Amino acid sequence: MRAARLIKMVLLLQNRPTMTGAELARELEVSERTVTRDAQALSEAGVPVYAERGRTGGYRLVGGYRTRLTGLARGEAEALFLSGVPGALREMGLEDIASAARLKLSAALLPSLRDAPRAAAQRFHLDAPAWFREPEAPPLLTVIADAVWDDRCVRARYRRGDGEVERELEPYGLVLKAGVWYLCARVREAGTFRTYRIDRFVAFEAIDPADAADGTDGAETAARLKDRFSRDVDFDLPGFWAEQAERFARSILRAETIVRLSAAGVRALPHAVDPVAARDALAGAGQPDERGWTTVTLRVESEDVAYTQLTALGPEAEVLAPAALRERFAADAVRLTALYGHRGA
């Protein structure tokens, strides 16, 4: 394990001019003290790792050092061929490029690893879209993907409610969630990051400085509308998406129910309702009563949604409030008794 970590540390420093101890610790999933020991071990082994102290300091390789430890193990080669999502690459217009890259990688592998692509394909397949829906790429996806790759400032128009809104955006990244494409972008005027469903864009074009408005302020406008933007190096796409997804999930939970759950109901709750709502409800629950039942306050999208979701728990859940929802379940209980209570009597 340590040998693999030392190699990874060298490769990280080879690809970046300087990295702080905290950055290396995060990448290697170890403590900063371990990073210090590893750097010393590399130095003693003849790898010129240099540690520079101070606010702007960090670790770096001296003299343009390059390692020759670039051979791939079988597991690494197979993982590389799993890293692409064929459907997503095709929808973004990158299928030919990805295919050429895979061919080049295959040609560069050792003969003993040439079957890695076939071995990976036989064992794993990713089907991203949800069930019961035909995957359909948004018409502007390829254009948007190009802007993301090139860091192009764009002028976009999208549907919001019954109208359309125009924005100048810096497109940072694409996310494919359950067959739906989203764009994470920074709004130029506000300087804030937002998420957009790509199928709601009706126009998306790169901003050309030559398109600046006529008049005395033309030069100022041209300077403002740069054709490319400088990325915020601290922007973390996976982290941003996770935060936005949880915020969205919480934003639609506008109603509240009080429910008693059996031990089986507690275990089944995360599978019946929104996972965020279930997590919050169980985290705020008290101790089970003498019968082993737990009372929770559960946030839901609406009473109708709560009715549909909690029905799946059957007799493992008792709705206490609101009264109208409890009455719906009580009426169901009467109907079920009529259906099943006297059968065969």
Exposed/middle/buried for residue 49 (C-beta within 10 Å: 0-12, 13-18, 19+) = buried
Say what the pLDDT of residue 135 is: 65
Q: Quickly state the pLDDT bin for 132 (edges 50, 70, 90).
A: low
Task: Give the integer Cα–Cα distance in Å for 183 and 189.
Answer: 17
Task: Give the integer Cα–Cα distance in Å for 168 and 154.
Answer: 6
Task: Give the integer Cα–Cα distance in Å for 329 and 333.
Answer: 6
More confident residue, 153 or 97: 153
Q: Quickly state the pLDDT bin for 222 (edges 50, 70, 90).
A: very low
More confident residue, 331 or 344: 331
Question: For all residues of the chain together, what is the average pLDDT?
Answer: 83
Lowest mean pLDDT among 100-104, 110-114, 212-216: 212-216
Query: Cβ distance 155 to 185 under 8 Å?
Result: no
Max CA distance (Å), the chain: 93
Question: Each residue of 235-258: pLDDT tens digit?
Answer: 999 999 989 888 888 888 889 999
Say what the pLDDT of residue 214 is: 47
Lowest mean pLDDT among 41-50, 275-284, 307-316: 41-50
Exposed/middle/buried for residue 61 (C-beta within 10 Å: 0-12, 13-18, 19+) = buried
User: Closest Cα to residue 74, out of 109, 125, 33?
Assistant: 109
How much is the average pLDDT of 331-337?
Answer: 93
Q: Quickly state the pLDDT bin for 309 (edges 50, 70, 90).
A: very high
